[in-house]
């Protein structure tokens, strides 16, 4: 296991103060590298659109291109992952998320009157305009914490514009009141993976979990963004529940 870091990379504790909870996966959700990669992807897409270029979808690429993120890299064998944890909410791990509901209904007559181009038939049961009533499991945390090894200035610049994170942002979930980024004390490798406790803060390759001496189970998880590409899915060690 090797940590590939630049001189400006430091161990950081990043915190987001939330307005009223966040819709996220638990125990592993809202990976910091995924947040930064999504931001980079949006910038890339906006640039392409402004230049009138088509945006290439990397969802089916055999080896999708990696984003240039302001993070160190953790190398394990032939593979590597970004030196950043998943979000840790300040709630008890056993505390159940709050069950909220997300609705989406299209008023087809209204849409037809106000659309700038003729709309196709709107079906309530299929297509992009279908009626939706989905669960929204919201973790009622007031703070999310990440550990990362990276460039403080560039991470701050990327996170500052993010005013909401997680799922169901359009319905008011995951609103961020403020971000704070500070240097964290401790051994970078151990703090990055375990924080203040002894549970893995993110899925890691199995040799890394073995070297850290923690209990783990094996499951499928994307080793690094873009996580939507199936080729990134690999067997990883996760906290033993």
Residues forming contacts to other proteins in the complex (CB under 8 A) are 25, 59, 96-99, 125, 130-135, 137, 167, 219-222, 228, 230, 233
Q: 133 with 18: CB under 8 angstroms? A: no
Give me the torsion for CA of 135, 139, 143, 144, rounded to 10°: -80
- Give me the least distance between CB of 44 and other proteins, in Å please: 21
- Of 99 and 118, nearer to other proteins (C-beta) is 99
Identify each DSSP E strand in the chain by its residue range.
2-4, 9-18, 22-23, 73-76, 79-82, 88-89, 98-104, 132-139, 143-151, 176-183, 216-222, 233-239
- Give me the least distance between CB of 148 and other proteins, in Å please: 23
- Give me the least distance between CB of 150 and other proteins, in Å please: 26
Cα–Cα distance, 169 to 38 (Å, whole number): 15
- Of 151 and 173, nearer to other proteins (C-beta) is 173
Q: Supply 137's token pair.
A: 């499991």
Cα–Cα distance, 85 to 105 (Å, whole number): 36
- Of 128 and 178, nearer to other proteins (C-beta) is 128
- Of 116 and 125, nearer to other proteins (C-beta) is 125
- Give me the least distance between CB of 222 and other proteins, in Å please: 8
- Of 56 and 190, nearer to other proteins (C-beta) is 56
Q: Supply 233's token pair.
A: 């899915």
- Give me the least distance between CB of 9 and other proteins, in Å please: 29
Q: 92 with 169: CB under 8 angstroms? A: no
């Amino acid at each position: 296991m090797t940590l590939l870091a630049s001189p400006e990379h430091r161990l950081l504790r990043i915190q987001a103060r939330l307005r009223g909870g966040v819709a996220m996966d638990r125990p592993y959700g809202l990976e910091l590298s995924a947040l930064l990669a999504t931001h980079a992807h949006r910038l890339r897409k906006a640039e392409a659109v402004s230049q009138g270029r088509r945006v290439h979808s990397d969802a089916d690429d055999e080896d999708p291109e990696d984003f240039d993120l302001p993070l160190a890299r953790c190398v394990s064998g032939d593979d590597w992952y970004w030196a950043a944890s998943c979000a840790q909410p300040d709630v008890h791990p056993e505390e159940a998320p709050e069950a909220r509901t997300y609705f989406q209904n299209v008023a087809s007559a209204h849409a037809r009157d106000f659309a700038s181009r003729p709309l196709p038939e709107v079906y309530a049961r299929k297509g992009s305009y279908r009626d939706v009533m989905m669960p929204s499991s919201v973790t009622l945390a007031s703070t999310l914490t990440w550990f990362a090894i990276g460039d403080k200035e560039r991470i701050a610049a990327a996170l500052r514009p993010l005013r909401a994170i997680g799922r169901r942002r359009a319905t008011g979930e995951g609103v961020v009141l403020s971000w704070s980024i500070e240097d964290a004390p401790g051994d970078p490798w151990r703090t990055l993976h375990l924080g203040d406790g002894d549970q893995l803060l993110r899925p890691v390759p199995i040799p890394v979990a073995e070297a850290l001496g923690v209990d783990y189970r094996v499951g499928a998880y994307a080793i690094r963004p873009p996580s939507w590409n199936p080729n990134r899915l690999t067997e990883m060690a996760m906290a033993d529940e």
